[in-house]
Every structure is written in structure tokens, then in C-alpha cells.
Structure 1
Amino acid sequence: MPPARTPVPPPEAAYTRFASQYDDWFAPAGGTDTTVAFLASLAKEAPPGPLLELGIGTGRIALPLAEEGLAVHGIDSSPQMVARLRAKPGGREIPVTMGNFAAEPAEDERGTYALVYVANGTFAEITTQADQLACFAGAARRLRPGGLFVLDAHLPEALATVSSGTRPVNNSSQDFVLCTRSIHPAKQHYVSDYVVLDGDQLRHVRVTFRYASPGELDLMAAAAGLRLRHRAGGWSGVPFKDSSSYHVSVYELPA
């Protein structure tokens, strides 16, 4: 038999060089509260147990969830981002495993979590289908029976309508940030190029994503033993419909 395949970790996102400014520059404006509320509500429907954030980063979502009284753990590959988490109030109390969250979970992680989530487009930073499949499989193995796996993603059709052009990025610090997005159908990728005015220097940040349709994600989930429980049109919980440009999908590990 061929050796077991080890998922390729995504290259460390260029924006981790700006870990101290990440929450100001790259977190969606006003998106934290709705994301936290959605996940906190969902945790009440999950079996008892801790939550796990894949790509916990600076703790933008995990820390408010912990303040709600939920036990939250994390996985991340960036020491710089986790250092920002540790510097925040309560950040040292959250257990974080350093590594690639698409990799096979350790034996003591299996069947541990009530809810596993990945937010802010982080799932799409896994840039091959095989590694995205591995992420689904790893999430399923980490879940308790009846547990939930939650991810967010752009709809490919919506991406295609804004495939070119440059727009300013609203950010809480009012810094100068521009984003140009390009679509690469041959690889099922989209690339976001950011230009950031950092002090008196212009800096360039490039992040590559792999997009997938809801149907493809559902097939990945089924291959991992998960089934779709609910799909919303965003973290606010609005209905998913033809006019949606974004979705939040909730998968369940059957009890």
C-alpha cells in the first residue's frame, strides 16, 4: 500500500506578518458579534463538550465565546497570531495546538468536541481538494456523536461577478487598505491582493483561496460521514437563497 498522505499545510498566510494589526485590517467589520452569537446558539444544540476553532488566530471569535462560559480550544499554524491571542485578556487560558488543522488528529483528540468551527473564510485557505477533504475527515473524527462542524464560504457564482477590480477595505483603525480579487477557474482558486499603508510604507499581502460550491462541500462532508443539518445565508442566520453571496453551513455527525 502507498504511504498515508500527509496534507500539505497552507503556506503561512502573508498577513501573519501583520498579526498585531490583523483584527483591525482583515476581520470583517461588525462580523464578530454575529459570528459569536450564531456559534453560541448552536452550541446549545450540540452535545455537551468543548468547542474547537480551526485557525484560531488572534482569538477574535474564541475569546468572546469563552466569555459566554463555553470551553474553547484551538489549532493554528502561526506563532505570531497565537502570540496576539495570548496577549489578550483570557488568552492564556485557551488551549491551542500548533500545527496544520487539515492533518490527521491525534488519538486523544478523537471524539472530544461538541462543535468544531472554521470562520472568516479560513477553510478556503486550504488550496487543494484533497486537503479540504482531509479537513472534513479530521473534523468528523474530532466530534462527539451528534456533534457539529460549521464553516463559512463564498458562493462561486457570487465570486465570478466581482472577479476583478480594486476596492477599499473598511477597517476599524481607518488605515488605508485596498483589495484586488482575481479568479482562476483552472485551479478553482481566487486570489486576494491587499495593499496596506503601514506607517509611511506600502506593503503587499497576497492570499490564495480554493473555492467550492455548496454541493461539493456537501459531498466532502458525506465522504467524512457528516450530513448537512442547516445552511444559512450568513452568520446573522438569514435564510440561504438564490440571492445569497455567502453561506454558513452546519454539518452533523450522526449519533
Structure 2
Amino acid sequence: MDTWQILHIPDNPPIAPDQQPTVDVIASLIDPKFANTLVRRLNQISPLENLRHVKRVKKKFVEGGKTQLSVILCPASENGNQLGSMQNDVQELMNSHKLSPFITKVCKYAALSKEEWEEQCKLWPTSYHPPTYNIDGITGFSEEDSQSVFRFMKYAIHLAKSSDNLVHSDNDNLDTNGEGSSSLSARPYLCTGFDMYIVWEPCIMCAMALVHQRIRRIFFAFPNPNAGALGSVHRLQGERSLNHHYAVFRVLVPQQILSGEG
């Protein structure tokens, strides 16, 4: 590397739009005049809880200008007897409307880009909602912000290479009387809105600690191929069950900085 670069590490690993994972669902052609009734009932007895991005009805125009509708009855079972695994309420609805079920595939996850969404709709229509959050840097850094990131990372690398014990020297400078305690207590308990600059990509334990501290952005210089939690092995920043998420960036460092020439 001859120049600095900042790379955003996305929540999920990139997947080619035409290679997105799919799951099987049970669907059927329906009479358009019963569409509203069927959809309302199916949403009650068989909601698509894990497929909220998938639309219940697929519309297709056939010869003669007619509209052909298909509806998802329910997710298919993962065992061999997929059609025989429908719950009783769905079976009754299917029988009462004389539906003929078939197995089809839908995309397992919501689209992360317009290109992914277009590919998904070739299988079955889905919804696409572009990200609405705005975390500085995800769409590019200004020159001023970039230089600030590079400066902080250079300092982090300098500290990592230094033989000084930073924690020890900080403690040496703390006043042990009440004034020192007041200074510490005045510091924020959480780091909401703060950025973190670290040399190595953190492991799961350290990455979770940064979640709990409500860090806004994490910048690291070197991947951790054995235990990295932010792109190398896991992607904690994309774990939807967490109650806080931060943006993650890798900073590519010029060789002269690493060799001590810069």
C-alpha cells in the first residue's frame, strides 16, 4: 500500500445478485375475485413472519390480457413431505377454494440493493427499502474527514508500536484525591456518538463490549483472520438481534507508516 484508504465493511458479506439464498414456500393459483379474502385469512392463520420482505401475491399477465394471480399459502417444511406439512387451517382454506398447491422458491433475505431486488423479483415479488440511516462515511468521506481518520489511525498505530504503557502512564497522572475521582466520575458512562480507532479487528468479546458502550463507528487497520468479529470471521455489526449497531471501516495504511518512515 502506497496511499491511505478507507473501506466500509458492510453488515453482510457481499452476494452476487443472482446467487442469493432461497427457501421453499407453498403457493397456488387463485381466482382474482377471491384475492382479498384469501390474503386476509392467510395473514391471520399463516403470517410470513420470517419472510416479511416477500409479497403474498404474485401477479402475471397472460395471453389475452388476463391477469393471473398466485398466492403464498405458507412456508414449506424442510422435511421431505413439504405439501403434506401444511397446518389444518391452511388445508381447510385450500380445500374450500379448491386450490392446487405447488412448491416454489422465494429469496430468503431482504434485498440490500436495487440489483438484488431486481433479481429477487424474477423468482417472486419482494419489497425493497433502501437504508434510511445516515452514518457519516458509509457513502464516502470528505477530504477533511478522511485526513482526520488517517491522523487518528496513525496515532493508534504509533501507540501500539510504542514501548510505553499508556494505561500505566495515564494512571500515574491521575490525582488520587477527591479531585481525581471527580474527574473520572465526570466522564460519560456510555460512549454514545464516539468513534473507536484500533489497530487489530476485535474478537467477538471485544466487539460486544463496544456494542454495550454504544460506539458510533469503529476503524481498524488489520483484519483478524482467526477470530475477527467485524468482517473476517463474523459480522457482529449485522446481527439484527442486538439493540445497537455501529458502522465499521477498515483503514488501509501506507507501508511507510508501518515501517516508521512516515
Q: TM-score w.r.t. structure 1 length?
A: 0.21
Structure with more of its chain in strand, by fraction: 1
Decide which structure has the larger Cα Rg and report it: 2
Greater RCO (Cα-Cα under 8 Å, separation 6 or more) = 2
